[in-house]
Amino acid sequence: MRNIRLSVPDNAKSGDVIELKAMIRHDMESGYRVNIQGQTIARNILTFFECRFDDNVIFSADFHPGVSANPLLKFHMRAQKSGTLTFEWTEQTGQIFTKTAALAVLE
């Protein structure tokens, strides 16, 4: 179970630009390190992130081995209506980690 932290405003006024923040616990093992026996530690990274508002993609990112462990993302969206935000990370193994948050837009 991956530890995911999200920061989404509880509510926003219609038309406001809001900041979204997302962090996931992941070692992001680059594949360039060696262990104490001198053997390469196998690469294991997240490769893709996507944030959807209802069914529309509002932000996506490709991750590469240079991204730090426990990556933090900050991005913005314009709040227009209430809905559900889905934050989704894809590991190189194909495993997907998801967390959702509700956004309430006041008129």
Partner 1 sequence: MIRAFGIIGIALLAGCSEKPVDEAAFGIAPENIRSGYEFLTAETQALQNDDFANPGLLWVQTGQGLFQDGGCAACHNDPGTEFRSVASTFPALDPQSGKLINLEGRINLCRTRHQSLPELPYESDDLLALTTFVKSRARGGTIDYQITDALQPHFAAGQNYFYSKRGQFNLSCNQCHDENAGAKMRGDTVSQGHINGFPAYRNDWQTLGSSHRRFEACDIAVRADPPALGSQTYLDLEVYLTARGNGLTSESPAIRR
Instruction: Give the other-Cβ count within 10 Å of 19's Cβ.
Output: 11
Of 29 and 50, CB closest to partner 1? 29
We find the least distance from the C-beta atom of residue 93 to partner 1, in angstroms, to be: 20
Cα gap 70→5, rounded to integer Å? 10
**By the criterion CB under 8 A, which residues form the site for partner 1?**
3, 5, 7, 21, 23, 25, 27-28, 68-70, 72
Where are any strands of DSSP class E within the chain?
4-7, 11-13, 17-24, 46-53, 56-62, 72-78, 83-91, 96-106
Write down the least CB distance from residue 51 to partner 1, Å: 16
Nearest approach, Cβ of residue 76 and partner 1 (Å): 15
The C-alpha atoms of residue 28 and residue 91 are separated, in whole angstroms, by 9
User: Based on CB atoms, which residue is closest to partner 1, 56 or 68?
Assistant: 68
Closest to partner 1 by CB, 15 vs 66, is 66
